[in-house]
Amino acid sequence: MALLCSTFVPQIPNHFRRNPISSFPFKSFFSLSPKAFSSNAVSKEDKAPARVGFLGLGIMGSPMAQNLIKAGCDVTVWNRTKRKCDPLISLGANYKQSPEEVTSFCDVTFAMLADPESAVDVALGKNGAANGLSPGKGYVDVSTVDGVTSKVIGKQVKATGALFLEAPVSGSKKPAEDGQLIFLTAGDKALYETVAPFLDIMGKSRFYLGDIGNGAAMKLVVNMIMGSMMASFSEGLLLSEKVGLDPSVLVEVVSQGAISAPMFSMKGPSMVQATYPTAFPLKHQQKDMRLALGLAESVSQPTPIAAAANELYKVAKSHGLSDQDFSAVMEALKPRFQPPN
């Protein structure tokens, strides 16, 4: 494995200097265990860049892959809808026709897919990523899925002799563009250490949480809280308006108090205008609520607030709001979506 990106050094983005967790990002390339990527191992002197694969170029995958390319990584992309690869190819990415071809060609491959079904399909389906994996390679699934799905993928990946890391991200479209994601990782520690420099290009911090499933669980708990917060915020905005207050002033008041949250300040003004430019699609938020409720069910943890919020996201979906931002959940509380009294 040729993970010696010394040529990247002059192109390190500024945010590395602010990163509280990582130190110099490419340092770990030089302390790689020879076993980490044994099939293609090269000596430190070879200084050839690693080949990095990226599968899934949606709202998140595209800017993440773009940041890798801009940092000087040798990136190879694949996406189900081919045209989404074109801007990245223009920036210098290689293109392969299937996930299998990407993993055959690359030392380490990231996958950013919509949901459990697509993550399994791309990893384990026909011409799937697992077919191109072998000892010495790594597969990092950064999609938001449940722990059971992640374990299924991890088991098949490891059966090829490759290493597996689940690494869902917290942070939306803008943090992805700015390389400010938070990685919630679990699985093979050796792979975590090897890909840390790539995570540091795409993110501002990273957590290693142990066994496969823990990264997925952390992500689902965080998004369960986020989904409930957004539903509650929506109720507040509409109630304030109905009692004659200016909801824009509510956004301002909230921003100055203990319940202030960047999410409210960022999305509040457009919600007041009833516009929902998509950063995090509502269908994905509902998927995360559903998976979080399943996680809670598996350990008999009551989550009545999240369960109620999930119903609201389901109503929003049924009214055609799936591809709008998840803040469009507020629309489901408006009279035309409510059953008559």
Which residues here bind ligand NDP, judged by CB under 6 A? 56-61, 79-81, 84, 112-115, 118, 121-122, 143-144, 169, 172-173, 279-281, 284
Based on CB atoms, which residue is closest to ligand O=CC(=O)O, 153 or 182?
182
Q: Which of 197, 269, 248 is nearest to 50 (CA)?
A: 197
**Kind plus residue range of the DSSP H or E element containing 207:** strand 203-208
| Distance of closest approach, residue 252 Cβ to ligand O=CC(=O)O, in angstroms | 23
Based on CB atoms, which residue is closest to ligand NDP, 49 or 287?
287
81 binds, among ligand NDP, ligand O=CC(=O)O, none (CB under 5 to 8 A by kind): ligand NDP
Provide the token pair at 168. 């869902």
Instruction: Identify the residue among 171, 197, 213, 268 touching ligand O=CC(=O)O (CB under 6 A).
Output: 171
Size of the site for ligand O=CC(=O)O (CB under 6 A): 5
Beta strands in 213-260 (DSSP E): none
Residue 171: other Cβ atoms inside 10 A = 19
**Spatial contact of 166 and 146, defined as CB atoms under 8 Å apart:** no
Provide the token pair at 244. 């004659």
- Kindly report the three-state secondary structure assignment for every residue of 265-334: HHHHHHHHCCCCCCCCEHHHHHHHHHHHHHHHHHCCCCCHHHHHHHHHHHHHHHCCCCCCEHHHHHHHHC
What whole-number distance in Å separates Cα of residue 140 and Cα of residue 110? 5
Q: Which stretch binds ligand O=CC(=O)O (CB under 6 A): 4-12, 111-119, 150-158, 166-174?
A: 166-174
The contact pattern for ligand O=CC(=O)O, residues 2-21, with x = CB under 6 A and - = no contact, is: --------------------
Q: Is 198 in the site for ligand O=CC(=O)O (CB under 6 A)?
A: no
Instruction: Identify the residue among 78, 198, 280, 313 touching ligand O=CC(=O)O (CB under 6 A).
Output: 280
Residue number of the CB atom closest to ligand NDP = 58
Using CB atoms within 10 Å of the CB of residue 273, give its burial: 0 to 12 exposed, 13 to 18 middle, 19+ buried: exposed
| Distance of closest approach, residue 181 Cβ to ligand O=CC(=O)O, in angstroms | 8
173 binds, among ligand O=CC(=O)O, ligand NDP, none (CB under 5 to 8 A by kind): ligand NDP
Based on CB atoms, which residue is closest to ligand O=CC(=O)O, 56 or 171?
171
Based on CB atoms, which residue is closest to ligand O=CC(=O)O, 66 or 327?
327
Q: Is 194 in the site for ligand O=CC(=O)O (CB under 6 A)?
A: no
Beta strands in 38-180 (DSSP E): 51-55, 74-78, 94-95, 108-111, 138-141, 163-166, 169-170
Residue 226: other Cβ atoms inside 10 A = 20
Active site residues: 219
